[in-house]
Amino acid sequence: MKKHCSYLTLLLLAGLLAMCSSKPAQSSSWVGTWGTAPQLVEPHNRPPEPGLTGHTLRQIFKVSIGGETVRMTFSNEYSEEPVTLEAVSIALSTGGFRTDAASACQLTFGGQTEVTMAPGATAVSDPVGFRLPPQAEVAVTIRFGQTSPMTVTGHPGSRTTSYLLTDSPSSDEDFADAVTTDHWYVLRGMDVLTAAPAASVAILGNSITDGRGSDTNRQNRWPDQLAAHLLSHEETSHVGVLNMGIGGNCVLRERGGLGPSGEARFASDILAQAGVKWLIICEGVNDLCTSPDARQTAERLKEVFRDMAGRAHAQGLKVYAATVMPFKNHYYFTLDHEAGRQILNEWIRQADCFDAVIDFDALVRDPSDPEVMQAAYQSDYLHLNPAGYALMGTSIDYRLFVQ
């Protein structure tokens, strides 16, 4: 086992570089352990003052599977100007802004500590030795140079607090005075180097997958619950979970919604993920409920879901489709929207293009009124509460992910 890297802060780059191994095992392959879907951040979700340029941002995320060699991907995909990361370090989080000092490790990019991402580009760090336990929380600390203040790439629905400092930190305690924001910026994912049969499942979703209604800093979205569920079974303890949900997202290009459409981002957010072997499609409600003709929209969703399944199958993935859950008593509800939901769900249950169906509708609907979500599981009759997300994640048959 590799030893933890010693913690010298971002200013002591040489010491950190000397203590981090960058030689991956030859027989292993990369598998995603954590990811988030980037988008062009809306104006009200941009970084707080004083902004990112010239300042330091610490962000926290929770992985699924563990390993001893990692790499990270950063994104400038939706920005119109270059973004420079002057220095990036990772460490195990011990809660809030604090980290395990002994675990801290500097990331490099082509052997350099600084990297500039052109507009529309991503940056992948060099492999680095880092002892990562399963379900660990990781803190990534970035010292920014030039950024794109008006067109920012990020993920607004982090449900996790980030910490912005105007100065370079000399210790964790400097972050006690940081400006806080519950958003992620420039992060895309973390992969671990691990041996077969390790693989990951990528989930294409909207705000329900993104975790609206879950608890901030509790990491209890339904994909988090699924990750814990899979880790609890020996046969699936090597399966990572990648949450590719975007709040307000639509599948169809013509329906719009927040972030790039499911059609537009399918190749990058699903097919391009490292080690992905399974796809869960958990989308459609925003398309149906922003449509003037939900029946027609349901027919278009059938076409796109079938196309997605075919593309995923061609890459060797298994494809599971989730039914759309009820939303009566939410402002989305109309008789037309409900009719579209029923059409889409009935097709999902019978379609021959999916390897399995995850029937979330049947799981959470009220037996006395199937158009309504059970009160014990809802937060606003569209999104679920933590109990509902726990039910979703743990109800999925882990055997679907046994290779």
C-alpha–C-alpha distance, residues 200 and 209, integer Å: 16
pTM: 0.93
C-alpha–C-alpha distance, residues 115 and 125, integer Å: 9
**Residues forming beta bridges with residue 357, ordered by sequence position:** 321
pLDDT of residue 267: 98
pLDDT of residue 27: 73
- Mean of the pLDDT values across residues 319-323? 99
- Mean of the pLDDT values across residues 91-110? 98
DSSP 60: E
C-alpha–C-alpha distance, residues 361 and 338, integer Å: 12
- Check pLDDT > 60 for residue 279: yes
Phi and psi at 301, nearest 5°, equal -60, -40
- Check pLDDT > 90 for residue 64: yes
The percentage of the chain sitting over the pLDDT mark of 90, rounded to a whole number, equals 91
- Nearest residue to 339 (alpha-carbon basis) of 379, 303, 295: 295
pLDDT of residue 20: 56
pLDDT of residue 254: 83
pLDDT of residue 222: 99
pLDDT of residue 2: 34
pLDDT of residue 78: 97
Cβ atoms of 49 and 41 closer than 8 Å: no
Express each pLDDT in 150-181 by its tens digit. 999 999 999 999 999 998 999 999 999 999 99
Contacts of 102 (CB under 8 A, 6+ apart): 4, 5, 6, 7
Cβ atoms of 17 and 176 closer than 8 Å: no
Residue for token pair 């992910």: 401
DSSP 257-283: BSSS-HHHHHIIIIITSTTEEEEEEE-
In the chain, what are the domains? Answer: 13-188 (no CATH), 196-401 (3.40.50.1110)
Helix axes 222-231, 386-395, angle to 10 degrees: 40
Q: Model confidence at 14, in pLDDT bands (50, 70, 90)? A: very low
3-state secondary structure 320-386: EEECCCCCCCCCCCCHHHHHHHHHHHHHHHHCCCCCEEECHHHHHEECCEEEEECHHHECCCCCECH
Task: Write the CA distances from 401 to 65, 171, 190, 200, integer angstroms.
Answer: 14, 42, 20, 9
- Nearest residue to 107 (alpha-carbon basis) of 91, 119, 93, 84: 91
Express each pLDDT in 207-216 by its tens digit. 999 999 999 9
Would you call 62 exposed, middle or buried from its count of C-beta atoms within 10 A (0-12, 13-18, 19+)? buried
